[in-house]
Amino acid sequence: MGNYLELIALVWFLVCWLGYTEYSKRKANDRPCLSNTLDLYREDWMRVMLKRDNRISDASVVGNLERNGAFFASSCLLILAGIITALGYTQEVMEVFSTMPFGTLPSREIWEMRMLVLMVIFIYAFFKFTWSMRMYNFVAVLIGSAPLTTDTKASPASREAFAKSAGNVCNMAGDAFNLGLRSYYYALAVVSWFIHPVVFMGASTLTVIVLYRREFRSDALLALRSGKTFEDPAPRQETDKETTN
């Protein structure tokens, strides 16, 4: 029965993670959220960038965003190194854990499965953060190649197309970073698995609630929406969003 409970907890965790990812992606099509609101701000940023010849500040912002991804990506590597080390000393770690006043000590196989789930999460996060870094690098290149205000060969239509293209790349970079950051939330839920599978299921559910409230009902969203006039709820293109999965 204990092993069945472990598997049920793991399945519920996957349902929470994958289910909320799909739900938030679809909900962003017809409802304001942090993701689609920031998409509009990024696109406006690219339009404003085209109106000035000095783009040092724009390049600086992109550099800061890229460094944020680098910080979390390097953190993922450190965490993965710790998990691999712990897997090499499974018996010793389990003996230390058995002396703690909370949680139940599972079999070695279950323990290693928990560690492997944590490893998979941080591997996924690492790839998302590094992909975000690379796309912010693309944005830096786009800013460098943007037509100047004195360029008479660039028509208004071509400038608008450039702003949309650069904004789209920036949005994909932000989405990849967001998915990587969510992985840290889910990893914290997995840590509760070491206490008890039921606690793990509760933590997985709580993680989804926290993510939903921050994405769709947070004060930050209200502040962002009040700072700009929106003509529509800013639905996102399906092709753009599929790229972030």
Rounded to two decimals, the pTM is 0.86
Gap between the Cα atoms of 228 and 125, Å rounded:
32
Gap between the Cα atoms of 136 and 129, Å rounded:
11
| pLDDT range class, residue 230, cuts 50, 70, 90 | low
Q: How far apart are the first and last CA of the chain?
A: 35
Gap between the Cα atoms of 222 and 111, Å rounded:
43
| pLDDT range class, residue 233, cuts 50, 70, 90 | very low
- The whole-number pLDDT of residue 244 equals 44
**CA dihedral over 81, 87, 89, 90, signed as positive or negative:** positive
Under a CB-based contact definition with an 8 Å cutoff, are residues 163 and 48 in contact?
no
